Structure 1
């Protein structure tokens, strides 16, 4: 018999994969890896605020992640040098969250669980919040897929077709905040960026269209969740990092297979 906590962990991992993988394709296409990191690191501040004001951690994480994503988008719109700015914001938000958590009294906070994930302790009530967040991300992706894709390819093309790049950027920002809130319990704030980037990067090796890349990314992310959980239970390793290691292994394998296929075609 499979224990209930394992089923909850698997469900949580698969929901995180469903939320992060399609969105991660846009993160890869737009070269927004640092943007994802800054949003994810702000989640720790959301955890501290939620515990301090006795709010839902999911809500606190979502609000702070969305606020950080909006702030970063506003800076990008004003022409700031985003590489350096995102580095400053990401590390500052993480440090501020850790400092804020140290001031909490009467509340025991396991920061390791929020930094690196603690998927094996997901409660049934938390699954409902994750399910709502996952459905929100998928609904946004399905609703605005063509518009988001057009704005990603060319903002000038989007404007000529009546698509507003600023609106699509805002929708992408909201979806990213939802994905961070869903994935925090699975892989933690420090590793969410990997879940957003690695599966889409793996799927891109073989994909021949954006839609196939998104589907492939979901498959890779789900496989990484299953493999990572299996490795964690077998060798007693941390579940969140094990999932990321599994995703990285699939990426290396995909690159190797892709390289061999290219060499054969060249001959």
Structure 2
């Protein structure tokens, strides 16, 4: 199941606030030097996808972009064999794009900008068929220390609005860890000296204390970034979800 717009604690090294940038463009120089820049979005925030595209375009225009890795596509999917002139249908097929989980209109412009620049776009997420095995893999628990494991469990509980049965929290935490590790392996495999791999993922995955950075090689210089919403208002997903799940009023 694709990671939907659950919000996790933003305990990362950098926060790029949309409302705080006078030009509306990301300060790419503030992200460098780096071997990997991890852009953590709120999945339903169009401004975040625009910001991702700007980062990708600015790095590629400087010849500094090594690859774009995606939570939105599975490991093994890649545009590496496509020409720069590839159209959207070719790119979507190469990435085995799941429109039901991830609307192409949100991510297509960024992906196509990378393809047009001759930069590979790589699926980074754990393949769906490996998720059930991850749920029962107790060795995944050892990839986080006790404090981080407890924090990840709390993040999963809160992110799912207290609607998950307690017995499912442990397996869901393992899936999250396995997904973070898969993304980290994709980034490490795409790293090129002097260039930057950009990861597009949900904010929880770029959390420096819990997510992808925990699984990257120490030799890589990593810049995790949480993209913040503009303005003070934050959407209350849990209230919305509970309202949707509530039984209809009796007639």
Q: TM-score, normalised by structure 2?
A: 0.27
Greater helix proportion: 1
Give the TM-score taking structure 1 as reference length.
0.26
Identify which of structures 1 and 2 has the higher relative contact order when contacts are C-alpha pairs closer than 8 Å and 6+ apart. Answer: 2
